[in-house]
């Protein structure tokens, strides 16, 4: 139909739009030429009378795991933190590993929504909505762990600077307090950002809704959106401001989380490289999780033309880049440990790689350093099954990264007399898998009831959104067209 279809071809059920043809723009939406098609396709997921069986199955799994989480947490609170496998040197293990893991996952959403937005990376529109949702759910999962891991859960609110009759403030030098602020801010801003982006789409849902309940529910959250020019103007301003606000948060949250370790005395934790290394790792794991979620979601709800192979290819490139950064950090840690001349530091890293947790370390290195290197190959970057498998591996690797950092450093620190081994109990494992239940349940509900794709934004990156779309005076205004091409070119 247009020049944009020039380099699309059908390959094993996938439309390959990853080819870059000089002078033309790769399409970000496939097989569509009307805005309404987008609306129709995205909204029908929520409006459909029949929900796909796969959704029910996944949701059931999610609910099952969520109940496991609930059970484990109640059991933990009723009996004591001792139900986990923690011990004297290893006072944190699965709890904080899971916390950092989930916070890390939560990074991709904001990166995609804020940073890519500011950099005018239009391909973000296909994935930003559910990546942001993923962020919010991941941060919720993350937030559980610091909350429940304390010995006296009933006074966990003392972490917050609330005025109280004890006239006690929290201790502001503690990185745990910084965490409270960093994660709290991150969650709030991410939620606002996500919700702001949702408003026009919620209005669309409201307008299309058939039932009274849907109309009221969507209507309440649509905040009276009517699509007026003024609305759009304010919306765009707000969105831009929130993007600007979120951008530093992408860097700050995981930097602050890494301070939990970096500001301590412990060999293996006390490392200046941690902030950038953690941020890179977080983006790495976050993108892997987006890929992990996007692949089944686009399959289940038939969104392949909106979340195209090109989107996945782009994300894989980000994974490759951040994977290299993580690999560099691993190497640099070793170098610094050797260069420092500190025997404890040196031992911590040798022990990490060759000590009792060598298997975790090698799992981490192979998943996080070797796996992403496969993404140098385009065939792999564009192969759905392989990238799915690799994204899972990256997730596994990144969980083990946190496990390795936390547990191996604690297990063998300064005085050999205190060394011990951590082994998880079923409650540790149950809580960990249970947190996936919470995530999955939330995500499935989101998929079912909210627009998974930012409808309004996607429309803006379609060729049809070009004011000159359909004009036949291309030659007259080639400059304009050229600029558009650049802009749409992801």
Partner 1 sequence: MTGDLEYRVDDSKTTQDTNDQTGTREPLSPSLQGRDLWRSLEDLSHTDEFKAFSDREFQEGAQNLEGEDRRQFMKIMGASFALAGLGTAACRRLPETKIAPYANRPDDRDPGVSVEYASTCKLGGVPVPVVVTSYDGRPIYLRGNGDHPAMPSDACGAMVQGTVLELYNPERLRVATNNGDDSTWADFDAWMKTRMQSHPGGAGLAILSGAANGPTTDSMKARMASDMPSATWSEWEAVNDDNVFLGTKIAFGAPHEVVTDLAQADIVVSLDSDFLGTESDNGNNPAGWASRRRLEGQPADATMSRIYQIEPMLTVSGIGSDERIALRSSRVPALARAIAKRVGVSGGVEDPQLASELKASVNRSFTSHEGTHEEVVVTDADIFDKMIEDLESHRGRCLVLAGGGQPPEVHALAAILNEKLGNVGRTVSYRPVARSRTRVDALTALVKDMNAGAVKTLIIFDSNPVYDAPADLEFAKALSKVEKVVYFGTSLNETTDAAQFEWVIPGVHYLEAWGDATATDGTVSIVQPLIHPLVDDSQGGRSMVEVLAMLMGDEQTDGLEILRDTARSRFTGDDYAFERFWRQALSDGYEKGTSTPTSTPGVSSGAMAAAMRGSNALSSDAVIELAIYQDGRVYDGRFANVGWMQELPDPVSKLTWDNAIYMGPELAKQQGLVSGDMVTLKTENGSIESAVMVMPGWASGTCSLSIGYGRGESAGMIANGAGFNVYPIRRADGMSLVSKVTLDKTGETYPLASTQDHGIYGSLDPSVPEAGIQERLPSIVREGSLETYQKDPAFNKGLAHVAHSLSLWEETNLDGAKFRWALSVDLTTCTGCSECVVACQSENNIPIVGKDQVIRGREMSWIRIDRYFKGGTASNPEQVVTQPVCCLHCENAPCEQVCPVAATVHDKDGLNVMVYNRCIGTRYCSNNCPYKVRRFNWFDYQRREPVREQEGLFAVKPSYYTSEGPSDFRRMQFNPEVTVRSRGVMEKCSMCSQRIAKAKIQYKNEWAQAGGVSTGKDWSIPDGAIRTACQEACSTGAIVFGDLNDPESKVNKLFSSPRTYDLLAELNTKNRVKYMALVTNPAFERSVHGHGGHGHGDHGHGDHGHGDHGHGDHGHGDHGHGDHGHGDHDHDHDHDHGDHDHADKHVSARNNGKVVNDA
DSSP assigned state of 25 = P
Tokens of 327: 């690999």
Nearest-approach distance from CB 90 to partner 1, in angstroms: 8
Residue whose CB is less far from partner 1, 19 or 263? 263
Nearest-approach distance from CB 79 to partner 1, in angstroms: 5
Residue whose CB is less far from partner 1, 413 or 457? 413
Q: What Cα–Cα distance (Å) separates residue 172 from each residue in 159, 161, 176, 259, 264?
A: 10, 10, 9, 13, 15
Residue whose CB is less far from partner 1, 261 or 284? 261
Residue whose CB is less far from partner 1, 155 or 379? 155
Nearest-approach distance from CB 409 to partner 1, in angstroms: 9
The alpha-carbon radius of gyration of the chain (Å, integer) is 24
Residue whose CB is less far from partner 1, 77 or 192? 77
- 425 φ, ψ (degrees, to nearest 5): -100, 175
Nearest-approach distance from CB 144 to partner 1, in angstroms: 15
Nearest-approach distance from CB 385 to partner 1, in angstroms: 37
The Cα 98–Cα 105 span in angstroms is 10
Looking at the DSSP bridge assignments, the partners of residue 11 are 14
Nearest-approach distance from CB 410 to partner 1, in angstroms: 6
Nearest-approach distance from CB 327 to partner 1, in angstroms: 24
Nearest-approach distance from CB 83 to partner 1, in angstroms: 6
Q: Which residues contact 1 (CB under 8 A, 6 or more apart)?
A: 33
Residue whose CB is less far from partner 1, 240 or 350? 350
User: Do residues 293 and 335 touch, judged by C-beta distance below 8 A?
Assistant: no
What's the longest Cα–Cα distance across the chain? Answer: 81
The Cα 301–Cα 303 span in angstroms is 6
Residue whose CB is less far from partner 1, 126 or 434? 434
Nearest-approach distance from CB 188 to partner 1, in angstroms: 20
The Cα 348–Cα 363 span in angstroms is 18
Nearest-approach distance from CB 141 to partner 1, in angstroms: 19
The number of CA neighbours under 13 Å toward the Cβ of 440 is 24
Complete DSSP assignment for 100-160: HHHHHHTHHHHIIIIIHHHTT-GGGGGTHHHHHHHHHHHHHHHHHHHHHHSS-GGGGGGGS
Residue whose CB is less far from partner 1, 13 or 154? 154
Residue whose CB is less far from partner 1, 152 or 482? 152
| Closest-CA residue to 132 (of 155, 152, 108) | 108
Contacts to partner 1 by CB under 8 A: 75, 78-83, 85-92, 146, 149-153, 155-156, 158-159, 168-171, 173-177, 180, 260, 263-266, 338-339, 341-344, 346-347, 350-351, 354-356, 410, 412-421
Nearest-approach distance from CB 139 to partner 1, in angstroms: 19
Angle between helices 358-365 and 343-354 (to 10 degrees): 80
The number of CA neighbours under 13 Å toward the Cβ of 214 is 17
Nearest-approach distance from CB 70 to partner 1, in angstroms: 15
Residue whose CB is less far from partner 1, 175 or 219? 175
- 348-369 per-residue burial string, b: 16 or more CB within 10 A, e: under 16: bbebbbebbbeebbebbbebbb
Burial of 147: CB neighbours in 10 Å, binned 0-12, 13-18, 19+: middle
Complete DSSP assignment for 401-452: HHHIIIIIHHHS-S-GGG-------HHHHHHHHHHHHHHHHHHHHHHHHS-S
Residue whose CB is less far from partner 1, 12 or 417? 417
Residue whose CB is less far from partner 1, 130 or 357? 357
Residue whose CB is less far from partner 1, 108 or 257? 257
Tokens of 348: 């911590």
Angle between helices 175-208 and 212-221 (to 10 degrees): 130
Nearest-approach distance from CB 332 to partner 1, in angstroms: 17
């Amino acid at each position: 139909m247009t020049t944009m279809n020039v380099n699309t071809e059908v390959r094993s059920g996938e439309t390959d739009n990853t080819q870059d043809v000089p002078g033309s723009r790769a399409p970000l939406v496939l097989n569509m030429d009307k805005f309404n098609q987008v609306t129709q396709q995205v909204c029908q997921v929520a409006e459909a009378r029949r929900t796909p069986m796969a959704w029910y199955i996944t949701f059931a799994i999610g609910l099952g795991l969520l109940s496991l989480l609930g059970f484990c947490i109640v059991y933990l609170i009723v009996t004591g933190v001792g139900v986990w496998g923690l011990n004297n040197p290893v006072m944190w293990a699965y709890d904080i590993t899971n916390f950092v893991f989930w916070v890390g996952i939560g990074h991709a959403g904001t990166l995609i929504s804020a940073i890519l937005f500011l950099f005018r990376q239009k391909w973000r529109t296909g994935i930003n909505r559910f990546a942001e949702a993923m962020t919010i759910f991941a941060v919720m999962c993350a937030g559980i762990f610091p909350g429940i891991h304390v010995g006296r859960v009933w006074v966990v609110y003392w972490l917050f600077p609330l005025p109280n009759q004890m006239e006690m403030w929290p201790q502001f030098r503690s990185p745990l307090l910084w965490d409270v602020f960093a994660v709290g801010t991150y969650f709030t801003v991410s939620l606002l950002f996500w919700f702001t982006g949702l408003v026009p789409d919620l209005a669309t849902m409201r307008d299309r809704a058939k039932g009274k309940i849907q109309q009221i529910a969507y209507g309440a959250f649509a905040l009276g959106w009517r699509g007026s020019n003024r609305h759009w103007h304010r919306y765009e301003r707000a969105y831009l401001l929130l993007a600007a606000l979120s951008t530093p948060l992408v860097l700050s949250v995981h930097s602050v989380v890494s301070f939990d370790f970096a500001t301590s005395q412990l060999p293996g934790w006390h490392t200046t490289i941690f902030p950038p290394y953690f941020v890179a790792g977080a983006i790495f794991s976050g993108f892997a999780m987006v890929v992990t979620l996007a692949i089944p979601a686009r399959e289940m709800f038939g969104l392949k033309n909106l979340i195209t192979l090109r989107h996945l290819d782009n994300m894989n490139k980000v994974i490759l880049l951040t994977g290299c950064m993580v690999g560099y950090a691993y190497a640099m840690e070793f170098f610094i440990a050797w260069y420092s001349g500190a025997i404890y530091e040196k031992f911590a890293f040798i022990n990490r790689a060759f000590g009792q947790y060598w298997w975790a370390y090698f799992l981490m290195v192979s998943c996080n350093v070797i796996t992403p290197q496969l993404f140098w190959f385009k065939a792999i970057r564009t192969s759905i099954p392989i990238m799915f498998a690799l994204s899972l591996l990256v997730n596994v690797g990144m969980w083990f990264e946190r496990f390795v950092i936390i547990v191996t450093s604690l297990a063998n620190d300064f005085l050999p007399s205190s060394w011990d081994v951590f082994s998880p109990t079923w409650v540790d494992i149950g809580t960990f898998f249970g947190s996936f239940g919470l995530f999955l349940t939330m995500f499935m509900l989101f998929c079912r009831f909210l627009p998974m794709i930012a409808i309004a934004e996607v429309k803006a990156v379609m060729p049809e959104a070009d004011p000159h779309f359909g004009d036949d005076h291309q030659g007259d205004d080639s400059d304009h067209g050229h600029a558009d091409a650049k802009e749409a070119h992801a």
